[in-house]
Structure 1
Amino acid sequence: MLAIRLRGDPYALRLAGIAGLFADKPLTRLPGSAREFLGLAGFRGTVVPVYDLRALLGHGRTEAPRWLVVAAGAIVALAFDGFDGYLKLPPERIAPSAAGDACFHVHELARPADGALRPLVNLGSVLMAIRQRVHQDPSPASTGVTP
């Protein structure tokens, strides 16, 4: 797992859902874009839409996020504030989140050895929300993606 931070709060992402991790990638912003859409970035010769993971999880935006992950199996990148490192956790350290916890895209909680709970972001759920957004308003300026 990747241990990340959103607005200073600890979160985690499963490595299986990630094709790459990047820092300080330049973004090309598009005018009139949706709040969660940050712009376009180039990754290994491919232009990819970049979305703000904070906004997708219902948090407000602060400064520009430094880190990006490219989702495995999807041509999309997600931006976040901080990278704390890698976590290797046994299955018993991951538990379902309570029904009222955090947000729609968090279904599990990871508890590393330091004891700090990290909501585990379900990347499949996040990507589905992005796809739905694209189909609701498919204009490239709104989503960064041409369906």
Structure 2
Amino acid sequence: MTVSIAAVHVTVDDPDAAVAFYRDTLGFKVRKEVANDGFRWVTLTTETQPEIEIVLSHPHAGRSKADGDIVAELLAKGELGGINLRTDNLDETFAKVAAAPGAEVLQEPTDQFWGVRDAAVRDPAGNLVRIAQA
């Protein structure tokens, strides 16, 4: 039996700002955009891992109003899970991310005691994005 990662969901309050960040700043490719019930979700991939998708979706997409409101509150607080990425050039990637509209720098590139060099930012929706040197 083989199990692998197919998709990672990232909740965003502004899909256009999120696409600009993940596509234009980080270089992900938009695979599909799907509209449903007044909302849309966008899937993105990388050239090196096209089988793994990042799915950007709105807090209210596919949820009841009450549940969507709760998710939106957690998103606004920055309390939803983050995403960990890897790059072959952390300094160059960090410079792009730090200059991106809506991004908030939390940690500049740093050598961590557990052996990783990484940086941390919040995407335009407030999600934690950690980027490590490959």
TM > 0.5 fold call: no
TM-score bracket for this pair, using the shorter chain length: under 0.3
- When the two structures are superposed, what TM-score results if normalisation uses the length of structure 1? 0.26
Higher helix share: 2
| TM-score normalised according to structure 2 size | 0.28
